């Protein structure tokens, strides 16, 4: 049995209407209204990413980079999963209770009189507001609220706060399951985690400054290697740079976790600017080059940097290729979590 997974869903276009339908009718709506019909939905449900992309291009007329956000919403979200919906300074948590996603053709079946003022008519597979303007409403899931309007400050730890700032429509947060459950528990009990936040806020900048000013690129790679060893890696090594051509990619650190049967490939960037998708492409290529050496290992791909932002292209590429992007501030927090014992670079 697959355990619960955690997701973030960002409400964007037609936010007022979508938020009202979420609050009043407990339906979580995404975009892609142009292809939101039962025909498209039946074709893509259960398909792998390559099959989905082919169908998407045929029906939508273009192969957009953010198409995998919709793929996650339709094919990876499941009954029992938790979905975090971020607000400006807070976030809410919902549980998916529907057995399957629906196309917008069925929104009218869920709308009651109290919200009919905002969604007033449906015709030709489109919804219209009172001004006759088409509303960008797409596919949706039935959900139930678990907890509403948790303040980010005081309840969400630093890693969760940073992940909630990602601008993608849907991203997975299952690796932060413990942090999310703790935030829900703390909010329900009225116990904040301000002390941890304040300690992190006071220390994070110092750590990041030292990572940028006191060591070079090679030193930062050694810090990442040390961190993975602190996490419990069976072995971790820094491949010789001369071994790979540009076309073969670049993994600055590779760590093996024998008990988990995992091979973790890391691209390390000591940057003061945004990280673009080329860094992510390099670690994906490196895995393709090295994977024959670790045939029985599940791959995990990271990009760790000392800067604090990734370009939109990089974020979209990360979703498409399952690459985790770790900013400088997040990595500083990760160092705080494991402690600095034996950090001697």
- pLDDT tens, residue by residue, 93-145: 999 999 999 999 888 888 776 566 667 677 777 788 777 888 888 899 999 99
Residues 60 and 168 in one domain: yes
pTM score: 0.69
> What tens digit of pLDDT does each residue of 149-159 get?
999 887 888 88
292 within domain boundaries: yes
Residues 316 and 217 in one domain: yes
Residues 155 and 76 in one domain: yes
Q: Which of 97, 81, 100, 99 is nearest to 42 (CA)?
A: 100
Strand ranges, E, within the chain: 6-9, 27-29, 82-86, 90-96, 121-123, 126-128, 134-135, 140-151, 170-172, 235-237, 253-257, 262-269, 298-305, 323-326
Residues 310 and 230 in one domain: yes
Among residues of the chain, what percentage have pLDDT more than 70? 93
Residues 167 and 62 in one domain: yes
> What tens digit of pLDDT does each residue of 158-180 get?
889 889 988 889 999 999 999 99
Place of tokens 């009218």: 108
345 within domain boundaries: no
Residues 208 and 295 in one domain: yes
Look up the domain containing 72 and give its range. 6-189
Residues 40 and 105 in one domain: yes
Residues 109 and 52 in one domain: yes
């Amino acid at each position: 049995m697959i355990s619960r997974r955690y997701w973030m869903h960002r409400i964007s276009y037609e936010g007022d209407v979508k938020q009202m339908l979420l609050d009043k009718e407990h339906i979580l709506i995404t975009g892609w209204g142009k292809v939101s019909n039962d025909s498209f939905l039946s074709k893509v449900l259960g398909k792998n990413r390559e099959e989905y992309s082919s169908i998407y291009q045929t029906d939508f007329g273009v192969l957009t980079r953010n198409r995998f956000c919709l793929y996650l919403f339709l094919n990876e979200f499941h009954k029992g999963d938790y979905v975090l919906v971020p607000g400006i300074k807070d976030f809410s948590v919902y549980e998916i209770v529907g057995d399957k996603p629906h196309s917008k053709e069925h929104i009218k079946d869920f709308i009651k009189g109290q919200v009919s003022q905002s969604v007033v008519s449906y015709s030709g597979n489109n919804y219209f507001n009172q001004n006759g303007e088409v509303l960008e409403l797409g596919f949706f899931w039935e959900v139930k609220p678990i907890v509403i309007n948790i303040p980010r400050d005081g309840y969400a730890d630093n890693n969760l706060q940073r992940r909630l700032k990602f601008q993608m429509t849907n991203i997975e947060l299952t690796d932060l399951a413990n942090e999310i459950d703790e935030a829900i528990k703390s909010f329900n009990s009225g116990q904040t985690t301000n002390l941890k936040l304040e300690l992190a806020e006071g220390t994070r900048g110092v750590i990041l400054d030292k990572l940028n000013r006191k060591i070079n690129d090679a030193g930062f790679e050694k810090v990442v290697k040390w961190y993975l060893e602190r996490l419990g890696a069976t072995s971790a090594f820094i491949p010789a740079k001369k071994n790979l051509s540009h076309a073969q990619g670049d993994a600055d650190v590779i760590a093996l976790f024998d008990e988990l049967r995992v091979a973790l490939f890391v691209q390390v960037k000591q940057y003061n600017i945004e990280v673009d998708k080329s860094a992510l492409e390099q670690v994906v290529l490196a895995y393709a080059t090295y994977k024959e050496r670790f045939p029985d290992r599940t791959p995990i791909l990271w990009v760790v940097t000392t800067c604090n932002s990734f370009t939109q292209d990089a974020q979209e590429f990360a979703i498409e290729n399952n690459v985790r992007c770790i900013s400088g501030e997040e990595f500083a927090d990760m160092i705080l979590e494991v402690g600095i014992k034996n950090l001697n670079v």
